[in-house]
Amino acid sequence: MIIWYGWGILVLPLMGLGVGVGAVLGQLFGGSLLAQDIGLVIGFLVGGAVVRVVGKALNRDHDHHRFFGVPMQHCAWAGVALALAGVAIIVFR
């Protein structure tokens, strides 16, 4: 079950857009496993940045746009956490 208020559901497609950009970058830089992993890390960071910017713009007056009760702009930290997990996977593989 997904819970959102206002335009909070945009967190999913915006993060997906960032991951898509990362996947394309991984393929552009050779398509090796390392390039794909680095592209994914970049994609999570891009997705988080886009969610942050859009969330701050939508919630400039009040935090009405939420995803699972969290204001959109704070959901960007999930992208950072996933990027750090990706770095850990790259380093410890």
pLDDT, one tens digit for every residue, the chain (93 residues): 889 999 999 999 999 999 999 999 999 988 899 999 999 999 999 999 999 999 999 999 999 999 999 999 999 999 999 999 999 999 998
Q: What is the DSSP string of 12-39?
A: HHHHHHHHHHHHHHHHHTT--HHHHHHH
Task: Tell me the pTM.
Answer: 0.91
- Residue 35 dihedral angles phi and psi, to the nearest 5°: -65, -40
Amino acid at 88: A
The pLDDT score that the predictor gives to residue 8 is 96
The pLDDT score that the predictor gives to residue 93 is 84
Residue 51's contacts (CB-CB under 8 Å, 6 or more residues apart) are 10, 11, 14, 15, 18, 72, 73, 75, 76, 79
Q: Kindly report, residue by residue over 4-24, the tens digit of the pLDDT.
A: 999 999 999 999 999 999 999
32 and 54 Cβ atoms separated by less than 8 Å: no
